[in-house]
Amino acid sequence: MLKTIGFAIICLLIFGRCAQQVSPTGGKKDTIPPNLLQSIPLNKTLNFKENRLELFFDEYVIVDNITQKLIITPEADNPYTYKLNGKSVILNFKKQFQDSTTYTLNFGDAIKDFAERNPVKNLKMVFSTGGTLDSGRVYGTLKDVQTNKPLFDALVGLYNLSDTLNVAKQKPYYFSRTDSSGIFSIENVQIRPYRLIAIDDKNRNMLYNPKDERIGFLEKAVNAGADSLNYTLMMALSDNTPLKIQRTLPKVNNYGVVFSKPIEDVQVNFISQDSLPYLIENGTQIKFFNVQPHADTTVVKLSATDSLGTTTDFEQKIAFLPPRGKDRQKDPFTISSKPEQNKPLAQAFTYRMIFNKPIGKIDDSKIELITDSLTHETLSNIKYKWNNTRTEVTVNAQSFAKDTIKWEIPKGSIISIEGDTLARTLIKHPVINDEDYGVLRGSVMNPDTGVQYIVQLLDEQYKVVDQHIGLTYNFIHIPQGKYFLRAIVDVNKNGRWDTGQIEKSQQPEAIIYLPEKLLIKSNFELNDINLTALNPQ
């Protein structure tokens, strides 16, 4: 009897588990998004005076990050809460909307069906608290000036005209975000003049952060609704924050001065009679070296220039830490090269040797350029030039090697200002075989005679491979691959691209792009690949 009862209990447990409900499998996947059946108020309602909105759908829905995705224009400064009620979504605003104003609520993909998370498409509500709907519209395209690529999810805003407009502190009155093609459209706006400005808005606070957000703008006001122009805005980084000394790094052997942003150049003047060797490191730091004898404190004046060409002066006291032991521990002394080791070199080449410390002494009669087992030429017989901090030497040389070009640097031939030397160093480069590379030639057509053009060849990651200043270019020794071609319109003829400054209504220097990507093949020449400069000033 007990065995029978026990067997029955086991069967109940087993079959009870088998009877558990599970989600059905198979069948056709639901790909149809929810459909809006009705809204309160109705779309394009006039004289709306309430602070509660409700949307009704034909199936159960969920709300996904609505506080980030719902765009309300003009900027209402009216906090709200939402409630999900099965097939409807309710928005309760803290206060009534401003009188005689047309509001647009664009939900993006904030509302989705319950089962498959299909978002409602093109869900937008428009209503007016006055007797008419505003009909103004501003639309266009947003691109990155450096790559010519469209920008997705950037904020494009219409700002009220003001002499004190500061997009780092003021939000736009109307705004929209770009789609994957960089297209924006700001609709149902009051027909009057505005400033049109776009920002990356990475943190979605609707304020411009110049440290790491791009900006694009038009110098002149746009008149919404007065015309149907398709505006194009070019975006660029433009860090206009004041240059500051962010921190100092005192050590026994050196003293670092770190700036708040990258610098293009720095002039160093020692106020006292002392002077110290120094170098610029990583584009943001200047490092002074502790070379005896010198006073306990050295005063220096720094004139640093940032990427916008703004120069700021600083007076800085340099004081090294006292040594802790008998012998000071030095950073290793290193060398690098451009091109890097094992990168191919042409027989006639320009070459850079870069050191991590200023050089105190060099015996150029011991450093050799080796082109074969019999041909050794010393650096003393080759044209070379130091930079002003003696941390980089540029060599112009001719080799007759068939396979490999070598630099041999014996131990003791290069001594840093700290008195240490490189170990014996051998740097090797294969010789370029012309048949393994392509050639690209062309011109800038329809040029503006008042400016200078910098033609650049870029790889697929938009890294500059080669450049030429002038109206014609001839790029040789190009590895097989795909490339972009562009020309910088160098208005101020300083040999580089300059970004814009919104506070000065100054646009970034224009860049002309060849529309299609180029395929460069080995042992093949592309000729007459021309860039056309439009509308010269």
- Condensed to tens digits (0 to 9), the pLDDT of residues 79-113 reads 999 999 999 999 999 999 999 999 999 898 899 99
- Condensed to tens digits (0 to 9), the pLDDT of residues 470-517 reads 999 999 999 999 999 999 999 999 999 999 999 999 999 999 999 999
> For all residues of the chain together, what is the average pLDDT?
90
3-state SS, residue 14:
helix
**How many residues would you count in the chain?**
537
22 band by pLDDT with thresholds 50, 70 and 90 = very low
Confirm if 47 and 41 have CB atoms less than 8 A apart.
no
Highest mean pLDDT (candidates 64-73, 200-209, 270-279, 438-447): 438-447
DSSP result, 362-418 = E-TTT-EEESSSS-EEEGGGSEEEE-TTSSEEEEEEE---SSEEEEEE-TTSEEETT
Q: How far is Cα 473 from Cα 527, in angstroms, rounded to an integer?
A: 10
Cβ neighbors of 268 (< 8 A, separation 6 or more) are 278, 286, 300, 301, 302
DSSP class of residue 431 equals B
Confirm if 429 and 340 have CB atoms less than 8 A apart.
no
CATH assignment, 36-128? 2.60.40.1220
First-last CA distance in the chain: 106
- Condensed to tens digits (0 to 9), the pLDDT of residues 411-421 reads 999 999 999 99
228 band by pLDDT with thresholds 50, 70 and 90 = low
Q: Which CATH architecture has domain 335-432?
A: Sandwich (2.60)
What are the residue ranges spanned by the domains of the chain? 36-128, 136-237, 245-318, 335-432, 435-532
Residue 15 has pLDDT above 50, yes or no: no
Ramachandran area for residue 160 (φ above 0: left; ψ -120 to 50: alpha; else beta): beta
Fold agreement (36-128, 335-432)? yes
Give the model's pLDDT for residue 401: 84
Q: How far is Cα 161 from Cα 225, in angstroms, rounded to an integer?
A: 16
In the chain, % of residues over pLDDT 70? 93
Specify the CATH number for 136-237; select among 3.40.50.720, 3.30.360.10, 2.60.40.1120, 3.40.50.2000. Answer: 2.60.40.1120
Residue 461 token pair: 């990651």
Domain 435-532 in CATH 2.60.40.10: yes
28 band by pLDDT with thresholds 50, 70 and 90 = low
Domain 245-318 in CATH 2.60.120.10: no
Give the model's pLDDT for residue 108: 85
Give the model's pLDDT for residue 19: 44
376 band by pLDDT with thresholds 50, 70 and 90 = confident
Give the model's pLDDT for residue 375: 77
Confirm if 368 and 381 have CB atoms less than 8 A apart.
no
